[in-house]
Amino acid sequence: MELNSSIRPTTVMLNINEEISIRLAEFQFSYARSPGPGGQNVNKVNSKVILKWSLKKTSALPESVKQRFSDRYANRISQDGIFTISSHRFRDQGRNVADCLNKLRELILSVAVEPKRRKPTKVSKAAKLRRVEGKRRKSATKQSRKPVRGDE
């Protein structure tokens, strides 16, 4: 069976980077009335998009990325493991769907690379001397501000 030329394989996947891509079938989209300006149109068109994605069921993310994602965005994840994101920036559904997917892509990219572990280092001797010398200078400045007391 040949694919229709208007349907691209990339339209059924959300490509995050070279290693991570998520099937669009994993996402649930719901629509609501969008707040804000729009005249009479805002009262009759459901242009706000709410994207829901089950983190527990997905196999698209490696475990390490999934853990970092869960830790960083815990406030957006329900008790059931459903991640929710919404968009009402534009006046039409299609652009808001694309905006939701772009937001999700950015969030995943922010946790996709494992952060480098910090190597603990010692403070150098010169830095310690500079710190102590600065304290000495500050102390001398404050001492010079005190009123001069005469011998009584």
Per-residue pLDDT band for 100 (boundaries 50, 70, 90) equals very high
- Is the residue at 86 inside a domain? yes
> Domain containing 40: what range?
9-112
- Is the residue at 60 inside a domain? yes
Give the pLDDT score at 8. Answer: 42
pTM for the full predicted model: 0.68
- Is the residue at 126 inside a domain? no
- Name beta bridge partners: 57: none
Per-residue pLDDT band for 87 (boundaries 50, 70, 90) equals very high
- Is the residue at 125 inside a domain? no
Asked whether the predicted pLDDT for residue 126 surpasses 50, the reply is yes
Q: Are 12 and 23 in contact (CB under 8 A)?
A: yes
- Is the residue at 21 inside a domain? yes
- Is the residue at 147 inside a domain? no
- Is the residue at 128 inside a domain? no
Name 14's Cβ contacts closer than 8 Å, sequence gap at least 6. Answer: 21, 22, 23, 24, 27, 101, 104, 105
Residue with the bigger pLDDT between 128 and 40: it is 128
Looking at residue 17, which CATH number applies to its domain?
Answer: 3.30.160.20
In the chain, how many domains are there?
1
